[in-house]
Structure 1
Amino acid sequence: MHINVLVRATSTSIENITESPWAGVDHGVYLLLKDGIIPKYTYGDFDSITEKERRFIDETLEINPVESEKDDTDLEIALLDLTERGYTSIDVYGATGGRLDHLLGNTQMLLHEKLTDVKIRIIDMQNVVELLNKGRHEVLKNRDMKYVSFLPMYDRTRLTLEQFKYPLEGTKLSLGSTLTISNEFTGEKGFVETSEPILMIQSID
């Protein structure tokens, strides 16, 4: 099952994404309602919305805010709950703008032991970020995105790339290396084999 999640304002147009249900996280709930989309699930402490926005939400649907002081972020709570509900594919919008700690935390969260078997993509107008687990993968080129980069999450990751402009064969990657930045597909798909989980980022220049 697939679901879309909106966290906060995003430059990506979401109005035409109607083939799957939506979940809203905090301010994302208000933004969905404002666009005429009723979220199937809502999450968050709603500390990032105004009183006027809160009244607008309350007039449309019932929400159950969590406590502001908590160990997990609102997005982590949402992803874990959606995973428990059986969703195996989740596209997250509005998770890359704003604070850098949130951006880095959201990408590292893809390594959460309860999320690694779920296909989660973090999407904005310029990038699509997803985690490739250990093993061999057939990956598809995203439309209009010229570049593809691979960022190791573990030191000494061995990476093989086939059907890319710059192929690799069991190349050992060190943390901090930029060797695998700005590669390109040679066709509509490629093959990636990695010895450890690795981030794949497709981007528009």
Structure 2
Amino acid sequence: MSQIVLLAGLCKQVPAFELPLIGIDRGAVTAMRLGCELLAAIGDFDSISDDELLELKAYTKVIQLNTHKNETDSEAAINYARSLGYDEIILYGGLGGRIDHELINLSLLVNQSNITLMNERNRIRLIDFGTYHQQRDYHYLSFIPLEECVITLKGVAYPLDHCIVHPWDTFTTSNEIIDEAEIIVHQGRLLMIECDD
């Protein structure tokens, strides 16, 4: 799989990803100010000034979207990245801020494949049938089932064995990886959330 990072408007810094970068709206300006090389900048750019847009156009390829459209800037960036052949996408800086934007970005995990949402303290992805091995990169590990699920958790503070979880059950919140976790999804789809305080 080929990976790419999309930098959304809420990123204040850019971790040392050794992957190609595309800036989304204000996220492109942040990346430019930090001297990051961008494949492109995409968005309607309604959150930046005209001077910043001119500066951005001199810095990288700019794909300017109409402000009246039927997709968010993030969704347009994902579709653009896929058109370039990238099939594993990290959307960085799309959490926090306006709750409607945050929920829409979370819905992208359900509606599109191989997307990870990240910010400075969180990483969220959709998992389904299969076995996953997860290092202790974050302090907490939580799961939100999107439908009835059957899961097994090993190597965590609160293990589960073929446990049935339903949407909006809360007992799969704030677990902790002891060393390396083994997560087995026997049935269903869940959001896996790793986070720090």
- TM-score, structure 2 as length reference: 0.91
Q: Which runs of 5+ in 2 are unaligned?
A: none
Alignment match, 1:147 = 140
Q: Give percent identity, aligned residues only.
A: 28
Does structure 1 conserve the Cα–Cα contact (< 8 Å) formed by 2:145 and 2:165? Answer: yes
Summarize the Cα distance change of 1:157–1:100 in structure 2 as closer, same or farther, 3 Å threshold.
same
More strand by share: 2
Work out the CA distance in 1 between the residues paired with 2:166 and 2:96.
27
Structure 1 residue 33: deviation in Å? 1.1
Displacement of 1:194: 4.2
Quote the Cα distance in structure 1 between the aligned partners of 2:67 and 2:104: 18
The match for 1:131 among 126, 130, 135 is 126
| TM-score normalised by structure 1 residue count | 0.88
The Cα of 1:15 is off from its aligned counterpart by: 5.4
Residue of structure 1 aligned with 2:181, choices 177, 184, 189: 189
The 10-residue stretch of structure 1 (44-53 or 165-174) with the greater mean CA deviation from structure 2: 165-174
For residues 79 and 141 of structure 1, the distance between their equivalents in structure 2, rounded to whole angstroms, comes to 27
List per-residue Cα deviations over 1:39-90 (Å, max 9, x = no partner): 1032211111112211211232342311111111111111122123321322
SS of 1:68's equivalent? coil
> Where does residue 170 of structure 2 map in the other structure?
178
Q: Tell me how far apart the structure 2 counterparts of residues 30 and 10 of structure 1 sit (CA, whole Å).
A: 10
User: What CA RMSD, in Å, does the superposition of the two structures yield over aligned residues?
Assistant: 1.7
Hey, what does 1:14 align to over in structure 2?
A: 14
Aligned to 1:52: 51
- Measure the CA separation in 2 of the matches of 1:191 and 1:27: 36
In structure 2, what is the Cα distance between the partners aligned to 1:15 and 1:202?
17
Provide the secondary structure at the position in 1 that maps to 2:178.
coil
Report deviation, 1:142: 4.2
User: Does the Cα contact within 8 Å between 1:15 and 1:35 map onto a contact in 2?
Assistant: no
Please state if 1:81 is matched with 2:76.
Answer: no
Compute the displacement of 1:10 (Å): 2.2
| Aligned 8 A contact 1:9 1:31 in 2 | no
In structure 1, distance between residues paired with 2:146 and 2:160 = 18
Inter-CA distance 83–191: structure 2 relative to 1 (3 Å threshold): same
Match of 1:39, as an amino acid? L
Question: In terms of mean alpha carbon deviation, does 170-179 or 19-28 score higher?
Answer: 170-179
CA offsets 1:91-121 (integer angstroms, 9 cap, x no match): 2211002100111111111111xx22x2x22
Q: Could you tell me which of 117, 120, 140 is aligned with 1:122?
A: 117
Q: Which runs of 4+ in 1 moved over 6 A?
A: none
The residue aligned with 2:195 is: 203
